[in-house]
Amino acid sequence: MPENREVIDNPRSDRVRRVNDLADRRQRQRHGRFLIEGPQCAREAVACRPDALMDLYIEVGPGDGLQPVSPAVAAIRDQARSQAPGVYVHYVTSRVMQAISKNAQGIVGVGSLEAMRDDLDALAADWGEGAEAAADDNETLIAALWQVRDPGNAGAVIRAADAAGCQAALLVDECVDPFNPKVLRATAGSIFHIPVLPVSTDEFFVRCRGWELPVLAADIYGAHGRQPQALPDFLARSPSGAAGRAVLFGNEARGLPEEVLARVDAIVSIPIYGRAESLNLATSAAVMLYALAMSSRLERM
Amino acid sequence: MPENREVIDNPRSDRVRRVNDLADRRQRQRHGRFLIEGPQCAREAVACRPDALMDLYIEVGPGDGLQPVSPAVAAIRDQARSQAPGVYVHYVTSRVMQAISKNAQGIVGVGSLEAMRDDLDALAADWGEGAEAAADDNETLIAALWQVRDPGNAGAVIRAADAAGCQAALLVDECVDPFNPKVLRATAGSIFHIPVLPVSTDEFFVRCRGWELPVLAADIYGAHGRQPQALPDFLARSPSGAAGRAVLFGNEARGLPEEVLARVDAIVSIPIYGRAESLNLATSAAVMLYALAMSSRLERM
């Protein structure tokens, strides 16, 4: 692992500005890089996607050599030394780290967009492998977000999808950029665990048909003439050993429009048993994805 | 409904300062009042707890009489006129609203802490009524938070508890104040739907025993010599028609300590099927409470 043992102390240097610039989408696209803020995301990048990690910036205390500011950060540096030999490590002072990111907690990374780019064909190939390996373990479950614009919600859904065992998260039709630093932080590192891919609405439906994955829309209103099924009813009626699903979640404010609902195989809503008006998108996604994941595993027990 | 038709335009008036002060816990306790920010919470206060609502501050545009700044705010004012005859309505300019709250979106309310105060005996009496009325509908389900300090998490759990049909949320052993404005906003009005009560750890366990409610701890680590059961296994093994439960969630960073886990009837964890390290507290609570609520309803179908 290359290491620059000279501590960077100038918050106005070109290098510092270039890293800070990655908070901006145009700069990310121009440089092909993205920002990874904080120990949680940096740790998962080192552990799971060292191929996509280019640099680590590590904050050190004043006058104590190259001692990272926290044991958590030191542990990530040590793991990078053994597992991510291509990553370049830089040491920075507190004021430089402040200039790079307000959410660093002692460490930021810079990743390569190119290395993170998955394509839909590669995705299907992965499931092919996964399906064999996991025939008696788990089924294909895909989370899809339609026009979701809020970074915190998008990141939280990606995290919940990962936890619930989804094989991928698809960002359908102009969602927020998953490499927006707020999205990335909200994924808590899950963006380094499962493929997260943008796709158009048409391609989403064409692909799901090709993959033989029924599309289930999470929606409380339903479409014209088509009431949503309540989630527990849907689970009770589902054939055991169902062949996997893609679950589509709508925009955080507007839900899913008629023309999208018209193309899905089922519309399912989470029942509100109390007097709350609704659940937010991230909470709904976690409840829905876990209910499906647990139910399909129970059926095969 | 009393209404002061003179628009308040002085952001430095004593009245404005006193309302703004309610963001501070000591001022809330001193005055026995709390702040209700934004249309969502104000609407639920008017609809569900008009008895606890004292004042509404409504932002009006410049020079157009008493026209609220948005149709949503106007609708809440109109509902208060018909359903909350004791509420005093004040009109304020944009700069006064800015001085009162940055999260007003055109409306804030002031509530009475005294009116919101529930006691644990009254709670049990309510369930008594509820249990009869709901014998074939739903079972007692109580959400309990232990030493939860983060306002956003606490509020989101209260909202999820309401949505999942919980009869109450208990704040065990020095949690964040539920009348902290951030908690209140995160409940999205659910604090006006179900009782939210502080209780000590000892009293929590004594009461649950008295109510014959088994306590289930949501915890991924378990206690010394006692592994948690995975949620789907717990659901599969639960006797149908179980007599309700209290579910205890730990501190967002530290979980639940040994001495608390030693007193619970079961320890249950949400399985992580993918590679995510964990779910956050609010997401875990929603998944756990909904799994229990849906499962107990399915069993009785």
pLDDT tens profile A203-257: 999 999 999 899 999 998 888 888 999 999 999 887 655 568 999 999 998 999 9
CA–CA distance from B47 to each of A36, A128, A144, B166, B208 (Å)? 45, 53, 36, 19, 31
Q: What is the pLDDT of residue A229?
A: 95
Show Cβ contacts of residue A64 under 8 Å, excluding neighbours closer than 6 positions.
none
CATH for B120-299, among 3.30.950.10, 3.90.180.10, 2.60.260.40, 3.40.1280.10?
3.40.1280.10
Give the residue on A whose Cα is nearest the Cα of B230: A294
Least trusted range by pLDDT, from A76-90, A126-140, B47-61, B232-246: A126-140
Name the band, by pLDDT with cuts 50, 70 and 90, for residue A135. Answer: very low
* Per-residue model confidence (pLDDT) at position B141: 94
pLDDT higher than 80, residue A187: yes
Among A287, A297, A300, A301, pick the best mutation site for testing chain B contact (most B Cβ within 10 A): A287
Q: Is B166 near chain A, with CB under 8 Å?
A: yes
Considering chain A, what is the average pLDDT of its residues?
A: 91
Under an 8 A CB cutoff, do A274 and B164 touch?
A: yes
Q: Is A269 on the interface with B (CB under 8 A)?
A: no
> What architecture does CATH give domain A3-116?
2-Layer Sandwich (3.30)
A169 to chain B, any CB pair closer than 8 A? The answer is no
ipTM of the complex: 0.90
Q: How confident is the model at residue A284 (pLDDT cuts 50, 70, 90)?
A: very high
Please report the pLDDT score of residue B129 as a whole number: 57
3-state SS track over A138-174: CCCEEEEEECCCCHHHHHHHHHHHHHCCCCEEEEECC
Is A90's pLDDT higher than 90? yes
Helices A71-83 and A38-48 cross at an angle (nearest 10°) of: 20
The answer, for B253 touching chain A at a CB cutoff of 8 Å, is: no
The more confident residue out of A3 and A155 is: A155
Q: Which of A82-86, A118-122, A213-217 has the highest mean pLDDT?
A: A213-217
Q: Do A232 and B189 touch (CB under 8 A)?
A: no
Mean pLDDT of the region A80-84: 92
Angle between the B120-133 and B201-210 helix axes, to the nearest 10 degrees? Answer: 30
- State the pLDDT at residue B119: 84
Is-same-fold flag (A3-116; A120-299)?
A: no
Confidence of residue A5 (pLDDT cuts 50, 70, 90): confident
Per-residue model confidence (pLDDT) at position B121 = 83
CB B140 within 8 A of CB B130: yes
pLDDT for res A299: 64
Give me the residue label for tokens 């249309």.
B39
Percent of chain B with pLDDT over 70: 93
- Amino acid at site A259: E
Nearest to B280 by CA among B166, B175, B178, B152: B152
Residue of A276, A287, A187, A289 lying closest to A244 (CA atoms): A289
The reply to whether B93 touches chain A by the CB within 8 Å rule is: no
Structure confidence at residue A122 as a pLDDT band (50, 70, 90): confident
- Domain coordinates in residue numbering, chain A: 3-116, 120-299
CB count in 10 Å sphere of residue B124: 13
- Between A92-96, A117-121, A195-199, B153-157, the lowest mean confidence (pLDDT) is in A117-121
Q: Identity (one letter) of the amino acid at B194?
A: I
Contact between residue A107 and residue A80 where contact means Cβ atoms under 8 Å apart: no
Helices B281-299 and B151-163 sit at what angle, rounded to 10 degrees? 10
pLDDT in the model for residue B31: 96
Give Cα A293 distance to the centre of its chain.
Answer: 18
Give Cα A60 distance to the centre of its chain: 29
Q: Which strand (E) or helix (H) includes residue B157?
A: helix B151-163
Residue B287, CA atoms < 13 Å, CB-side half-sphere: 31
Give the Cα separation of B260 and B125 in Å (integer): 27
Q: Is B269 helix (H, G, I), strand (E, B) or coil?
A: strand
**Bridge partners (DSSP) listed for residue A53:** A111
How far apart are the CA of A41 and the nearest CA of chain B, in angstroms? 11
Q: Are A235 and A270 in contact (CB under 8 A)?
A: no
- A253/B contact by beta carbon, under 8 A: no
Q: What average pLDDT values come out for chain B (301 residues) when binned by 10 residues? A: 87 95 96 97 97 96 86 96 93 96 97 92 70 54 97 96 96 96 97 96 96 94 88 84 83 93 96 93 96 82 52
pLDDT of residue B48: 96
Decide if B279 and A138 are in contact by the 8 Å CB cutoff: no
Note the pLDDT tens digit of each residue in A29-75.
999 999 999 999 999 999 999 999 999 999 998 876 889 999 999 99
User: CA A188 → CA A99, A160, B96, B145, B277, distances in Å?
Assistant: 22, 10, 39, 23, 8
Q: What is residue B224's predicted lDDT score, i.e. its pLDDT? A: 81
pLDDT (mean) for A79-102: 94
Query: Measured between CB atoms, which of B40, B164, B232 is closest to A294?
Result: B232
Which of chain A's residues have a Cβ under 8 Å away from the Cβ of B188? 276-278, 280
